[in-house]
Amino acid sequence: MATTLRRRNKQPEDSHPDPKPDEDDDDIKDSKPIKKSGKNNKIKNYSCLDNCCWFVGCVCSVWWLLLFLYNAMPASFPQFVTEAISGPFPDPPGVKCVKEGLKAKHPVVFVPGIVTGGLELWEGHQCMDGLFRKRLWGGTFGEVYKRPSCWVQHMSLDNKTGMDPPGIRVRPVNGLVAADYFAPGYFVWAVLIANLARVGYEEKNMYMAAYDWRLSFQNTEVRDQTLSQIKSNIELMVATNGGRKAVIIPHSMGVIYFLHFMKWVEAPAPTGGGGGPDWCAKHIKAVMNIGGPFLGVPKAVAGLFSAEAKDIASVRALAPGVLDSDLFQIQTLQHVMRMSRTWDSTMSMIPKGGDAIWGGLDWSPEDGYSPSKRKHAKNDTESSTQSESEIEATHANYGRIISFGRDAAEAPSSEIERIEFRGAVKGNNVANNTCRDVWTEYHDMGFGGIKAVAEYKVYTASDIVDLLEFVAPKMMERGSAHFSYGIADNLDDPKYKHYKYWSNPLETKLPNAPDMEIYSMYGVGIPTERGYVYKLTTAAECYIPFQIDTSAKDKNEDGCLKDGVYTVDGDETVPALSAGYMCAKGWRGKTRFNPSGIKTYVREYDHNPPANILEGRGTQSGAHVDIMGNFQLIEDVIRVAAGATGEELGGDQVYTDIFEWSEKVNLKL
């Protein structure tokens, strides 16, 4: 031991000699070692920050190495490996159609949905210096990590006007690049564009109708004249393509945005485009709606109510408290809520039609749906029945979009004691001044208001608008000026000429265009959010008082309740009922919503996930965004663009009970 100590504590010649082996341990502790240059004697204590930096560095190094190897290998290698495992790839739809002699005929217009279109900076505050015309949304999202608070500030709209905040201008990216890829390697429209190019399409007969998806639909015209640009571009493309009418291909929220456009373009100026009552008949061959939330989505309710959805709730269950923590120096979910509640477009997807469409406390159109018993390859509209035992085992009260507690979600309505929340006293303010920017509008609610919301127990579609007006009155005041969620009694009433009704198919008429076709094309076979079990959260500073209860799960593994979310058939975002009802019944034949009898078709695409990782997101996916790479859907689009009709495609293609569900909706047509 003495020898070891002498080596470590070697001192200069004029210092005292080293302590002897028999000296006290205290003397040994008091001796101060002199740092030696030898590398064997250099001791380094790594902090937690050092370890984190090493870990991040290793991950990045491995990632760049894999990326280098991926780009270095032959382009055909992934296909070669995949074909060796699962057999040869089918021809892409564009190649298949070229072999059949199909060529570009009708000009096509793409209308992207919410969040998939790029947004770039045109004017900003000092924290965004050097980012002029750089993407803030889409691309790499690098600014989210570099300057999160500044990014949230610039992506938010004014909470009073729903327009640009002072000193900030964020505008949509133009051209096909606006929404071909959402992020590097994550396609949206790119696969469809590439296949259309195979049959002869290019930018002269393809147009991306990009718009600022954060704004209310009418405000895209007020601020950017986007609706006027779409009108002019369609007219130009029709004129320069021999008078051939355009095929419009909207996706997701773009479906109801274009529904708004069709009313705007024929309405007189200055509110409308002044195109006259026959504009659509002259310029549009077909509208091929992909994943359209015609009647809204319950997912929008969860997002506006608690900044959640199924995936976020699952993350919360795996890592409690992380999403509510002060991550990147911002309260993550709270700032997401503050930002998204300024986007008026999100309110366009609140469920429409009330209980008549979505069901009440004790019924819904999808009653009896069972995930494990869903039919496949059903191409007719004849109903089939399940046994009573199957229906009982998988019964869910889908009409209850929000329930506080599983007991309230499952109990008969006669046993639920509900205390009216409308008009309840919200109580004293429960947030301090530091929370006001984070909470948006929850800082105006006291414990009394929070308690009143929970004590109502169950909310159906008819209650949802009142609920959101109670918890977020400023947001809904803006929203009610631009959107409506009811069912028209008399469509000839002059009030329905107002633009707030134009995106609701239950409060507006289709154009007088009997030769036009409308398709509803959407994926099925994926559990899709339909209702939620909520709970109150423990009071904390700057907290969101309501949260999906992820402990609520169905005992039956084939049940519809998992992690506090009731699911039904759909494309993971839009339930089949919302995507398919209008073309299955509401617009089928001549109805008061379709007075000219425009032909409608329901085209469902059964979800078939990729067989292995080398197939990427697959070619038979029915997921809400991945369906844009579905070969069968792309082939249908190409054929219609090349001149085919819905009958030539084969008419309806149905895998769900959409026709049976539609018949259960008691709506005057």
DSSP 8-class letter at 373: G
CA distance 212 to 219: 9
What are the DSSP calls for 106-125, one per residue?
S-EEEE--TTTS-EEEEE--
CA distance 299 to 258: 21
CA distance 462 to 71: 53
Residue 534 parent element (H or E): strand 526-536
Instruction: List active site positions.
Output: 252, 571, 624
- Cα Rg for the chain, rounded, in angstroms? 30
Specify the residue for token string 């038979």: 620
Query: What's the burial of 395, exposed, middle or buried (CB within 10 Å: 0-12/13-18/19+)?
Result: middle
CA distance 421 to 464: 12
Pairing of strands 326-327, 561-562: unpaired
In three state form, how does the secondary structure of 387-454 look? CHHHHHHCCCCCCCCEEECHHHHHCCHHHCCCCCCCCCCCCCCCCCHHHHHHHCCHHHCCHHHHHHHH
What the block records as the tokens of 658 is 């959409």
**Contact present, 351 and 401 (Cβ < 8 Å):** yes
CA distance 384 to 369: 12
Non-local (6+) Cβ contacts of 279 within 8 A are 265, 266, 273, 511
DSSP 8-class letter at 209: -
Pairing of strands 517-524, 284-290: parallel
**Contact present, 133 and 121 (Cβ < 8 Å):** yes
Residue 521 parent element (H or E): strand 517-524
CA distance 634 to 190: 11
Task: Specify the amino acid at residue 449.
Answer: G
Q: Which residue(s) pair with 526 in the sheet?
A: 570, 571
**Contact present, 441 and 475 (Cβ < 8 Å):** yes
Sheet containing 108-111, strands listed edge to edge, beginning at the edge strand earlier in sequence? 206-208, 108-111, 246-250, 284-290, 517-524, 599-606
